[in-house]
């Protein structure tokens, strides 16, 4: 092939690749623009002060927002210590053991496993045998989604901590729990925090696992043993409805959720950039 043809080919591929990157950026901008265009006009004070009401009653999303916060909060309280300890296990004690290898594999599967199946599992495990849909079940489903994210980032971040740091602590006669808690975790603090923030972002946007666990609730309820509202479920219910004011509220909720999730992502990346 002559040089001219090869160079032309090179230029064409470069142009196409640049265009593809442009397409990806355009898609992101398009989604964000749609959310702002449709969500912003509907984002009044009522969204934060009123609960979900029948169509035509100028309702809001207060119960859904609070329900989401409660369930995410509990999921994090359950999921963070388990994820942190399991991640530490993979990076420290279980690193080269058979259990460690299998747990690492299993965690990678859980990380990408369909989230709806987690919902179905919690339904079969907690909802069906224990008297129905509840905020607890929703929190449990979100916790299961949060754990693999924290495990993965914790392990990765602990692996970056120099072995000499641990050696120095052990040389001083510190027991392992002190070395891990006061040296290794502390050294990897920013990275571990990134994982926690990313997992909050993941839990905040998940809809499918809540369908069969906390179900959703159109009245005000903070009772964890009863069905509980959540923002994604409210959006799902409203977006598919034939009522214009409900659809508008769905867009307002969608804008809220996306902005929070994207902000969490960006903040966590800044954390990581500052750490490394």
Q: Considering the complex, what minimum distance in angstroms separates the CB of residue 253 from another protein?
A: 9
Q: Which is nearer to another protein, 14 or 49 (CB)?
A: 14
User: Smallest gap, in angstroms, from Cβ of residue 229 to another protein?
Assistant: 15
Residue closer to another protein, measured from CB, 63 or 184: 184
The distance of closest approach from Cβ of residue 59 to another protein in the complex, given in angstroms and rounded to an integer, is 19
Judged by beta carbon, residue 49 or residue 186, the one nearer another protein is 186
In the complex, least distance from residue 81 CB atom to another protein, rounded to whole angstroms: 8
Q: Would you give the distance in Å from CA 152 to the centre of its chain?
A: 13
Residues sharing a CB contact under 8 Å with residue 36, sequence separation 6 or more, in sequence order: 255
Which CB sits closer to another protein, 53 or 259? 259
Toward another protein, which CB reaches closer, 58 or 176?
176
The separation between CA 248 and the C-alpha centre of its own chain, rounded to angstroms, equals: 25
Q: Using CB atoms within 10 A of its CB, is residue 153 exposed (0-12), middle (13-18) or buried (19+)?
A: buried
CA separation, residue 97 to residues 21, 92, 101, 173 (Å): 42, 10, 6, 25
- Contact by Cβ (8 Å): 47, 64: no
Q: Kindly tell me which of 97 and 222 has the beta carbon lying closer to another protein.
A: 97
DSSP code of 275? H
Tell me how far, at minimum, the Cβ of 74 lies from another protein, in Å: 17
Torsion region of 60: left, alpha or beta (phi above 0 gives left; psi -120 to 50 gives alpha): beta
DSSP 3-state assignment of 228? strand
Instruction: Answer yes or no: are the C-beta atoms of 43 and 206 closer than 8 Å.
Output: no
Name the minimum Å distance from CB 3 to another protein.
8
Nearer to another protein, 178 or 189 (CB): 178
In angstroms, give the least distance from the CB of 60 to another protein: 19
Backbone angles phi, psi at 144, to 5 degrees: -65, -30
Do the Cβ atoms of 151 and 223 come closer than 8 Å? no
């Amino acid at each position: 092939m002559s040089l001219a043809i090869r160079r032309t080919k090179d230029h064409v591929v470069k142009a196409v690749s640049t265009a593809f990157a442009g397409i990806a950026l355009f898609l992101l901008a398009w989604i964000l623009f749609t959310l702002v265009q449709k969500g912003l006009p509907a984002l009044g004070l009522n969204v934060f002060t009123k609960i979900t009401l029948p169509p035509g009653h100028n309702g809001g999303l207060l119960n859904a927002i609070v329900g989401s916060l409660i369930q995410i909060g509990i999921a994090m309280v359950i999921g963070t210590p388990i994820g942190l300890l399991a991640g530490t296990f993979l990076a420290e004690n279980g690193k080269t053991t058979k259990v460690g290898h299998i747990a690492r594999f299993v965690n990678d599967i859980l990380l990408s496993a369909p989230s709806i199946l987690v919902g179905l599992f919690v339904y079969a495990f907690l909802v069906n045998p224990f008297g129905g849909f509840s905020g607890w079940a929703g929190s449990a489903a979100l916790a299961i989604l949060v754990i693999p994210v924290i495990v993965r980032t914790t392990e990765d971040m602990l692996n970056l901590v120099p072995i000499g740091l641990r050696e120095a602590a052990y040389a001083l006669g510190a027991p392992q729990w002190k070395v891990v808690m006061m040296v290794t975790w502390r050294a990897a603090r920013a990275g571990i925090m990134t994982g926690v923030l990313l997992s909050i972002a993941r839990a905040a946007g998940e809809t499918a696992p809540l369908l069969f666990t906390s179900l959703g609730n159109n009245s005000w309820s903070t009772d964890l043993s009863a069905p509980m509202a959540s923002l994604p479920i409210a959006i799902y219910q409203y977006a598919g409805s034939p009522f214009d004011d409900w659809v508008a509220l769905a867009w307002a909720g969608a804008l809220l959720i996306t902005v929070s999730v994207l902000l969490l992502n960006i903040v966590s990346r800044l954390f990581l950039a500052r750490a490394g």
